[in-house]
Amino acid sequence: MKYLIVGLGNIGPEYHETRHNIGFMVADTLAKAAGATFTDGRYGFTTTLSVKGRQLLLLKPSTFMNLSGNAVRYWMQKENIPLENVLIVVDDLALPFGTLRLKSKGSDAGHNGLKHIAATLGTQNYARLRFGIGNDFPRGGQIDYVLGHFTDEDWKTMDERLETAGEIIKSFCLAGIDITMNQYNKK
């Protein structure tokens, strides 16, 4: 069975390790733990890893956040991966830093990457792993905050949070979304 795991972010050194790129950071952590390296391909950087007989295609779209749906659709079609085997890893302002929430569907909550994916796929019924980045910014400062870097305080628990995100992704592929939500969404 094949799964498409999409870590959302923006390409370019100016976006490296910014809050909006937490999806890339999760994908990088998962790949590094498996000894896998990304290659530059159509619409993004990909690598494949195997987890107990399941094939995971990790994708970091090179389309920029607002056009993420193009990369998701392309790789789903190219690899013949059904929607129920797609998981989008995304930053979330509504959750405190490091909070991880797996959902089987939902609205885009104002997130441009999710908005484009829903528009491109014609549905919001795809799994997403929301990684909380907090919302400690002044009125009107959302863009600067999202494109800003994590605090020293955030970095103290970053490795553990990234590893837990990887565990959630593996569980999604092995045990399914319902069991994984029950196990991890309480933490």
182 marked as binding residue:
no
Q: Is 112 one of the annotated binding-site residues?
A: yes
Whether residue 20 lies in the annotated active site:
yes
Among the listed residues 13, 29, 149, 138, the one whose alpha carbon sits nearest the alpha carbon of residue 5 = 29
| Residues ≥6 apart with Cβ < 8 Å to 145 | 19, 93, 135, 136, 137
Q: Which amino acid is at 165?
A: A
Q: Rg of the chain over CA atoms, in angstroms? A: 15
Which of 20, 111, 116, 149 is the catalytic position?
A: 20
Contact 35, 88 (CB under 8 A): no
- Residue 66, annotated as binding a ligand: yes
Report whether 157 contacts 121 (CB < 8 A): no
Judged on CB neighbours under 10 Å (0-12, 13-18, 19+), 64 is: middle
CA distance 70 to 169: 22
Q: Which residues are catalytic?
A: 20
Residue numbering of the annotated binding site: 15, 64, 66, 112
Residue numbering of the annotated binding site for tRNA: 15, 64, 66, 112
